[in-house]
Amino acid sequence: MIQQNENNRMARGAFERMLWRHRGEPGKLIPLLQAAQDSYGYVPQSAIEQISDVTGIPSAEICGVITFYKQFRLKPLGRHIIRLCKGTACHVVGAETISQVLCDELNIAPEETTEDGLFTFTVVACLGCCSLAPAMMIDDQTYGRLTPQKIRNLIRQYRRNAQKTAGVAASAKA
Amino acid sequence: MREVLVGLGSCGLAAGGLKIYQRFAELLGSDCNGAVLKKTGCIGMCYAEVLVEVRDEEKGSTFYGNVTPDKVERIVESHVKNGKAIPEWVVSPNGSNSKQKRIVLRNCGVIDPDNLDEYLAREGYQALEKALTQMTPAEVIQTIADAGLRGRGGAGFPTGTKWRLAAASKDTQKYVICNADEGDPGAFMDRSLLESDPHSVLEGMVIAAYAIGADTGYIYVRAEYPEAVKRLRHAIAQATARNLLGSNILGKGFQLNIHLKEGAGAFVCGEETALIASIEGRRGMPKVRPPFPVEAGLWGHPTCINNVETLANVPWILLRGSEAFSALGTEGSKGTKVFALAGKVKRGGLVEVPMGMTINEVIYDIGGGTLSGKPFKAVQIGGPSGGCIPASLGDTPVDYEQITATGAIMGSGGMVVMDETTCMVDMARFFLAFTQNESCGKCTFCRIGTKRMLEILERICAGKGKEEDIALLSELGEQIKSSSLCGLGQSAPNPVLTTLRYFLDEYTAHIRDKKCPAKSCLPLVEFHIVEDKCTGCGLCVEACAVGAISGAKKSPHKIDVLKCVRCGKCITVCNQGAIEKR
């Protein structure tokens, strides 16, 4: 818990420094929101108010920009982000089935986060590795030529790893 | 001396290229008969990633495809150390490269994108030097105009004309923007180019800025391309350090500062006025033109926006002359075009062909035909703004006007090959779902019209289509095209209209016979278990939510067609491939 607070404080620091440094420059709203999201994992209400205070842009306008672009999130993300590609090349080789399998395995719909906070599942238009279709990314790692079986194994592997690290953390505490 | 190059574009990285690189680094160690290990960008043969090239001073290059960590040791022992190639692992670039002409991709997969010296060694920034020392801005523009270069982002507007308009303005503040917001699903040309040869794009930008008199530039790049952003940032820093960018370029007193702007995920921002709005920090919504950006663009100043591929052509044209460029291609379309070949094709990847080559040549001679070996059914060109061209029009040459005549558009260069298992109605639905989702909502017809069209298509795919739907789709499509402000709405109905034009029989099969000829729309197919393949493992019985599958353990199961709701779940759990769609 202490560690988490420390992290939050540092994240806030990075975002605030950027906010003050660029406050007078035109066209900085999107980079500022990106910085907020990088720091917190999403754009919290407090960041919107801060940006509005410093730049003078009304918070309604900031919300308008946030909801226009797909990149921005108003809710915290899960620990791992699954980005499933639904580009043309992936679609013709069965991305729809892959999506179904992921929903079943995670027990959530696209754009939702699992109850345990481990995964957020989102669908993206194209990851740009069409020759590896169907493809998805978990965090920064790309997985290509997916099959239902491959996906189930992958998700289970991430779950096992999460349990393992949780176990290590618990025993360290004890 | 031998060089080992590992392809580390996004494709290569996704296929595990970094592990291969590390394995080579381990095995080669500090000294291995003086062999050199290098990273490079996209080699273009994405179907065979991870790709490794062994370059021999005397014997030339050998490409190894589908390299896995276990293969590395033998490549090192046999080829790198002892000069003996391993023929069974070699992939021949001849099949895919012989008919290609590499102008834009001249350095892709050849140089290390993070190393400016390698770019300089291949005539890098010489075109810029020539422009700054020997040519006036007007001469630069004339050369580009004479070459007949047209915008590669899709619309094909003559680049020379655009530059001339921007140069003509008396405003003292002008901007150049590189549009790297490549959003078409199924297209990855710009990403590969930025990852593999960022300096060629930067050089093109500096020349464009010199030609029109701009001192500030922006590169608007998709945030979904982290690797491209990273390499561009690195390239800008390198070029600035060597006075190839910055306040006194090549000591000639010319100034250009380039800023990188990461997009935030909105397809419509590929449209130039929307892109400008996004750089200004607002919602990316298109504006009425005129005034065009060349008159009043970013913050009201003249702005010249060019696509990544267009800019990469510029240095080549200045060095080789406009005649060398206009010698390639057709009457109205000069030079080459890069295509991202994907879908059900044997050798997918990045290809660059002279304009005027036919679609058949691209698919069969370069792409190696379809995966199944059967003839292709259709090819989708131009992404969601383009259309599906049927195999019967395979002789259509790659040319702006000729492709437009088929109802598709050249677009940015996505080329997705489809075979008989792809349902064209579903394809139309897929693209419309994309544009519908990406419509910014400003124009009523685009916002609501695409939604209505999508509902109709969903209905048809679900087997609930009505006879009058076809006429309704064409009517709505024409209206959306004529009453939308920007390219997104004007082209959104194209995939539907072209499939209606060439594959009307598939629509009628869905509507009248309630059948999907490609067996791809699940509500319109019947599921059956192939007895010979079924092992009776019972996985499908467990998976079926409606209890439609029965059978004793270890003997073939059966699906009750009347109970089956056609969710397709049994297919995803069957390890034997025993469930068949009819």
Query: Helices (DSSP H) in B280-418: which residue ranges?
Result: 308-320, 322-326, 359-360, 400-405
B116-325 matches B336-418 in fold = no
Domain borders along chain A are 2-68, 80-173
- Strand partners for A113: A120
The chain-wide mean pLDDT, for chain A, equals 85
**Do residue B344 and residue A92 have CB atoms under 8 angstroms apart?**
yes
**Do residue A34 and residue B262 have CB atoms under 8 angstroms apart?**
yes
Query: Helices (DSSP H) in B335-468: which residue ranges?
Result: 359-360, 400-405, 424-438, 444, 450-461
- Strand partners for B338: B352
Between the two ends of chain B, the Cα-to-Cα distance in Å is 58
Model pLDDT for residues A107-116, shown as the tens digit of each residue: 999 989 999 9
Give residue A140's Cα distance to chain centre. Answer: 11
Which 287-306 residues of chain B touch chain A by CB within 8 A?
299
Contact B47/B13 with Cβ under 8 angstroms?
no
The count of other CB atoms within 10 Å of the CB of residue B291 is 13
**Do residue B572 and residue A100 have CB atoms under 8 angstroms apart?**
yes
Q: How confident is chain B (582 residues) per 10-residue block, as mean pLDDT? A: 87 85 85 80 84 86 90 90 87 67 92 95 96 96 96 91 96 96 84 94 97 96 87 96 95 95 90 94 92 94 96 97 95 93 87 94 91 90 90 94 92 88 92 92 95 96 94 96 93 95 96 93 91 91 90 91 88 88 88
Pick the CATH number of B116-325 from 3.40.50.970, 3.30.565.10, 3.40.50.11540, 3.40.309.10: 3.40.50.11540
In angstroms, what is the C-alpha Rg of chain A? Answer: 19
What residues in B contact A64, CB-CB < 8 Å?
283
- Decide: helix, strand or coil at residue B122: coil
The count of other CB atoms within 10 Å of the CB of residue B19 is 16
Q: Give the gap in angstroms from C-alpha A66 to the nearest C-alpha of chain B.
A: 8
- A129 pLDDT above the threshold of 80: no
Mutate to test the interface with B, among A131, A147, A153 (most CBs of B within 10 A): A131
Which 541-570 residues of chain B touch chain A by CB within 8 A?
568-569
Question: Residue A78: what are its φ and ψ, rounded to 5°?
Answer: -70, 175
| Interface check B458 vs A, CB under 8 A | no
Single-letter amino acid code for the residue at B263: G
Question: Residue B340: what are its φ and ψ, rounded to 5°?
Answer: -100, 105
CATH for the stretch A80-173: 3.40.30.10
Residue from the list B15, B185, B575 with its beta carbon closest to the beta carbon of A144? B15
Q: Can you tell me the distance from the alpha carbon of B235 to that of B227, in angstroms, rounded to the nearest whole number?
A: 12
pTM, entire model = 0.89
B2-91 is classed in which CATH architecture?
A: 3-Layer(aba) Sandwich (3.40)
- Of B254, B263, B270, B259, which is closest to residue B232 (Cα–Cα)? B259
Whether the predicted interface score ipTM is above 0.85 = no
| Interface check A45 vs B, CB under 8 A | no
Residue from the list B264, B281, B573 with its beta carbon closest to the beta carbon of A148? B573
What residues in B contact A29, CB-CB < 8 Å?
281-282
Q: Can you tell me the distance from the alpha carbon of B548 to that of B270, in angstroms, rounded to the nearest whole number?
A: 48
- Strand partners for B559: B549
What residues in A contact B267, CB-CB < 8 Å?
125
Mutate to test the interface with B, among A22, A23, A28, A30 (most CBs of B within 10 A): A30
**Do residue B191 and residue A128 have CB atoms under 8 angstroms apart?**
yes
CATH topology of domain B526-581: Alpha-Beta Plaits (3.30.70)
| Interface check B440 vs A, CB under 8 A | yes
Q: Can you tell me the distance from the alpha carbon of A9 to that of B154, in angstroms, rounded to the nearest whole number?
A: 46
Contact B178/B311 with Cβ under 8 angstroms?
yes
| Interface check A65 vs B, CB under 8 A | yes
**Whole-number pLDDT of residue B470:** 96
| Interface check A62 vs B, CB under 8 A | no
User: What is the chain B residue with the closest CA to A151?
Assistant: B572
| Interface check B187 vs A, CB under 8 A | yes
Task: Tell the burial category of B26 from Cβ atoms under 10 Å away from its Cβ (0-12, 13-18, 19+).
Answer: exposed
| pLDDT bucket at A1, cuts 50 / 70 / 90 | very low
- A6 pLDDT above the threshold of 70: no
In the CATH hierarchy, which top-level class contains the domain B424-511? mainly alpha
Q: Give the gap in angstroms from C-alpha A33 to the nearest C-alpha of chain B.
A: 10
User: What is the chain B residue with the closest CA to A104?
Assistant: B569
Domain borders along chain B are 2-91, 116-325, 336-418, 424-511, 526-581
Cβ-Cβ contacts under 8 Å for A46 (sequence gap 6 or more): none
**Whole-number pLDDT of residue A174:** 60
Contact A78/A122 with Cβ under 8 angstroms?
no
E runs forming strands in B27-163 = 36-40, 52-56, 60-64
**Do residue B265 and residue A71 have CB atoms under 8 angstroms apart?**
yes
**Whole-number pLDDT of residue A173:** 63
The count of other CB atoms within 10 Å of the CB of residue A13 is 11
**Whole-number pLDDT of residue B94:** 47
**Whole-number pLDDT of residue B97:** 57
- A7 pLDDT above the threshold of 80: no
CATH topology of domain B336-418: Ubiquitin-like (UB roll) (3.10.20)
Residue from the list B183, B264, B280 with its beta carbon closest to the beta carbon of A71? B264
